[in-house]
Structure 1
């Protein structure tokens, strides 16, 4: 390593034209200019302070990287963060759902580039992310061949990645937290996104504790409050029964094939509170559909959509166990006569797929979430007033499920029964739907008045 003591520091500069990485630390090492950009002035000041402290202590600076010996990635027998991140993803692969795999990788696409030393030749961020997504964070038999530019980017990441042990330092962990707090475009990330990525980082470090890299999870030592996420259903999204019927009646009017084929699926989301991916995998054998009276659905599988590279089958839709349920565990849902009639009509008109699925394209495929969304938005335009269309009322097909659960609760169905039918725990049910329990305020106020009059 070529080192020198010839180091000079400049002041922190700000580029007002940049939304991110707007604060720049500049210094020279052996008269060679060096710079590093940060999103906040506090991070830039901390980094410059570390450089100056190293110089005051008489440390030599590496001419190539511009960093003092104490800030270089040390020779370590332990894994780099990139290596450990790869083992983390692959270790969870077999037992994880496709969406979980994708969520894990999405968090690591933020963390891996941030937890890297200032090695010369840092590649374009988009190119590096694609190399990680298409190659490094996949099992060996799924990895795409990299182009020369992507291969160079991945080689840089392998060389620059900080040792996993470096995450024991508060400064490094704050770099990680800063990275997950912004989108790839540099804008402030949504609260739920930040919380999910932070949870993945925490779980990764828990595994590092298991492997004796740390004695305790270093993330627990950092005083950092994640942004508050909305965890309750907004009652403004919930339709009443009359509005729900108008929306469902409008669905078949959308398009020549999609709308008519999707009405019964949306009806399952509303009348049985199925998640859209649960309705997508509903099969004839799951249904009891008498000619009169109530029927029943015994739900066993769901058919979520994910990117092909993350699924076991290599297809975008893949049948799997119900959310938060054991393999082959079922959920029994009584369904009202109106839904029984809709399903019977759908089956008489369109039949079923070869595997018994009720909802399919003309070629036996599954409709994508974008197809669901398009049909739903067009139906909203037909069924709702212009002001309602612009509002959040039933903005997504999933809001039909919220409407169903809210209706059941307000009708006086015991929370335990509602939770059983909807596939929730009781505590989650009451917390998520707390603001949708309308119609009880007068009753509660009457009780308070009675107490005050005593």
Structure 2
């Protein structure tokens, strides 16, 4: 039989005589028993200890207490053996996932588990501040790198975090609390809100819920639950619309004005943003770009580049090597995979001018950290890829310079990533087959159409009849 706490129980219990083993220096005594035909044993240093242990098992069996088939112990003892609190389990889940996921995914898991933990306290007495708890969880406990790869129960926290970690280890709920739907709902509601109490985006809720579901599924995998408690809770997340908002899309004239503004503000980054707009590249792919990736840059006509990776800004707490950056394969691609992307004449001109005026970093990287007025002088000591903060700052200045006040305050090209959206939309609007656009963009066709189908101009007019008469014909 199975009780409500995930144990497989039986009343078929047999107790055997104690076996004595005489060693060279001392004897040991082994208590032996069986549950549902499966034999168990435990060794003690004295016969009295073994007899006391077996007496406890005998008493439980006589009183009709069921025994757990997996551990061989009476249900109350087995329950204590299996149970663990949320803090310990969440840390072990992080460690189990860590080797198989990207630094960005690691950071996302930590953020979700931190948000969940804030509503999973069993006792509020002596509770540290929320800021201290977030720092302890997100900055140390839920980062295997920050713990130097050591399991949380054996790791030594930084001195300022030790009291917080000790409190968390003793005051989060046991996993059995999730068998109460109210606890699970409380976590799901917390994952749907920001720190300021406002609702998060639907896509964020979906991602957080998936992470939380994975953490509880890990408990099922460890046989701490028979089934995932989340699957019994009728909690509906807000509907998620993946489609790109038309309002963020810059038209060709606006995009050219924005690129020109970048050229005036920070000339060494004009080609960077040009790669996003004209080639539909992801920011991390542009930061990874090297001279060797540019297969052809003709004086006239189209060129070609071969992308082979991405440079992610991860932070030391999420990387394997302690660096703030991580060189990764192309998104959703295997290691050593590549992707061919055409270089239109406008981008050929931008890249050619960039190479002539600014050259590359020591390793051939096109867009590196620079010093000097307008970022014109590359410094060899600073050969790292351009920092995302620099890109964000330059783009904000370019929008203010190139757009009207009304446009600047709108969603139009609010983020540099919106240049990629504009590029892919233009390709689709120009009639390029979706399969080809998906290949250039590094998407699946399904994702491409799910995200960009609502932005393809002309479809509504093409679908309409030429006249009302046609409707009746």
d(CA) in 2 for partners of 1:379, 1:113: 40
Q: Name which of structure 1's ranges 301-310 and 260-269 shifts more when overlaid on structure 2.
A: 301-310
* Structure 1: segments with no counterpart, 5+ residues: 1-73
| CA 1:442–1:134: 2 relative to 1, 3 Å | closer
- Tell me, yes or no, if the aligned pair for 1:406 and 1:436 is still in contact at 8 Å: yes
2:322 alignment partner, SS class: coil
Which residue matches 2:394? 375
Which residue matches 2:260? 249
- Tell me, yes or no, if the aligned pair for 1:114 and 1:179 is still in contact at 8 Å: yes
How many equivalent residue pairs? 377
2:85 to 80, 86, 90: 80
| CA 1:370–1:203: 2 relative to 1, 3 Å | same
| CA 1:149–1:364: 2 relative to 1, 3 Å | closer
2:106 to 97, 101, 105: 101
| CA 1:211–1:146: 2 relative to 1, 3 Å | closer
1:165: how far off?
Answer: 2.9
| CA 1:235–1:146: 2 relative to 1, 3 Å | same
Which residue matches 1:421? 440
2:415 to 376, 379, 396: 396
d(CA) in 2 for partners of 1:442, 1:100: 42
- Tell me, yes or no, if the aligned pair for 1:113 and 1:157 is still in contact at 8 Å: no
* Structure 2: segments with no counterpart, 5+ residues: 1-78, 371-381
Which residue matches 2:33? none
| CA 1:406–1:450: 2 relative to 1, 3 Å | farther
- Tell me, yes or no, if the aligned pair for 2:465 and 2:471 is still in contact at 8 Å: no
1:141 alignment partner, SS class: coil
- Tell me, yes or no, if the aligned pair for 1:360 and 1:366 is still in contact at 8 Å: yes
d(CA) in 1 for partners of 2:224, 2:247: 48
Which residue matches 2:309? 301
d(CA) in 1 for partners of 2:319, 2:302: 37
- Tell me, yes or no, if the aligned pair for 2:181 and 2:233 is still in contact at 8 Å: yes
* 1:350 equivalent in alignment to 2:358: yes
1:328 to 332, 336, 344: 336
1:274 to 268, 271, 281: 281
- Deviation per residue, 1:213-264 (Å, 9 max, x gap): 222221111111112333110111111111111111110211xxxx111110
Which residue matches 1:195? 206
d(CA) in 2 for partners of 1:182, 1:173: 15
Tell me which structure has the larger Cα radius of gyration.
2
- Deviation per residue, 1:110-163 (Å, 9 max, x gap): 112322211521111111121122322222316897455521111111011222
Which residue matches 1:128? 133
Which residue matches 1:19? none
TM-score between the two structures when normalised by the length of structure 2: 0.76
1:366: how far off?
Answer: 2.1
| CA 1:346–1:145: 2 relative to 1, 3 Å | farther
d(CA) in 1 for partners of 2:253, 2:198: 40
- Tell me, yes or no, if the aligned pair for 1:284 and 1:356 is still in contact at 8 Å: yes
Which residue matches 2:460? 441
Q: Name which of structure 1's ranges 280-289 and 183-192 shifts more when overlaid on structure 2.
A: 183-192
d(CA) in 2 for partners of 1:145, 1:398: 40
